[in-house]
Amino acid sequence: QVQLQESGPGLVKPSQTLSLTCTVSGGSISSGSYYWNWIRQPAGKGLEWIGHIYTSGSTNYNPSLKSRVTISIGTSTNQFSLKVDSVTAADTAVYFCSRASTENYGSGRRGFGMDVWGQGTTVTVSS
Amino acid sequence: EIVLTQSPATLSLSPGERATLSCRASQSVSSHLAWYQQKPGQAPRLLIYDSSNRAIGIPARFSGSGSGTDFTLTITSLEPEDFAVYYCQQCTNWPPNTFGQGTKVEMK
């Protein structure tokens, strides 16, 4: 079955760029109708959706982070990636990647929940 | 932006008791709501999608209901492994793909 694994630096300096990769194994990132998501969770707090990318490459971002976030997909590498620019201590969190199946709905799309998750990776922003 | 409000924040129950968790949306999400369970140090696990459909491998003691703006997750008889934090998420009106703030089910 499909598995996801996050990777990237665990420590990032303030004002620098946080870069994470999610590797998809057990299936092709290009097959099916899926959104590939990034979610984060500060210690002791709830889940915050960062954004997602569709298999076609189209993206949606959380408006609260949109100006600093880029999600990209690599079909040849079977990976998708997250970049967050100009990080501060408020970006310290556990970062998860996940998969959500989706279908056309009205003039847009809708999802069926995130059925596959990575184990999460802790990113600390500190000098 | 749709806001999801979960209640109560904490539910203190004993094994064998029934748990009823609520999720209210600030505007209609039709039936496009999912529920997740998260245990400490773990990723969330999908329990319910489309308001009432159990995900693969989820025990029958978990059930979901509701449509529009009001949703409920029910655990009919709590097992020791069910004590965790539960989140709802709307799956139709993004961005953002909103989560509720969570309900912690703790052992009494």
> Dihedrals φ, ψ of B77, to 5°?
-145, 105
Q: How far apart are CA A69 and CA A100, in angstroms?
A: 20
Write the residue in B38, B91, B100 that is nearest to A113 by C-beta.
B91
Q: How many CB atoms lie within 10 A of CB A104?
A: 9
What confidence tens digit (pLDDT) does each residue in A33-51 have?
Answer: 999 999 999 999 999 999 9
Which one-letter amino acid corresponds to residue B86?
A: Y
What is the average pLDDT score of chain A? 95
In this prediction, residues B77-95 reach a mean pLDDT of 94
Q: How far apart are CA A57 and CA A104, in angstroms?
A: 16
Q: Is the pLDDT of residue A98 over 90?
A: yes
Question: B32-56 in b/e burial notation, b at 16+ Cβ within 10 A?
Answer: bbbbbbbeeeebbbbbbbbbbebbe
Q: Which residues contact B73 (CB under 8 A, 6 or more apart)?
A: B19, B20, B21, B23, B35, B47, B48, B62, B63, B64, B86, B88
* SS3 state of residue A33: coil
Query: How much is the pLDDT for B89?
Result: 97
Query: How much is the pLDDT for A111?
Result: 86
**A vs B: CB pairs below 8 A:** 80
Query: How much is the pLDDT for A55?
Result: 86
Are A63 and B87 inside 8 Å of each other by CB? no
A8 band by pLDDT with thresholds 50, 70 and 90: very high
Write the residue in A62, A117, A119 that is nearest to B95 by C-beta.
A62
In this prediction, residues B72-86 reach a mean pLDDT of 98
Q: Is the pLDDT of residue B97 over 90?
A: no
What confidence tens digit (pLDDT) does each residue in B24-61 have?
Answer: 999 999 999 999 999 999 999 999 999 999 999 999 99
- Note whether B58 contacts A: Cβ–Cβ < 8 A: no
Are A46 and B87 inside 8 Å of each other by CB? yes
What confidence tens digit (pLDDT) does each residue in A114-124 have?
Answer: 999 999 999 99
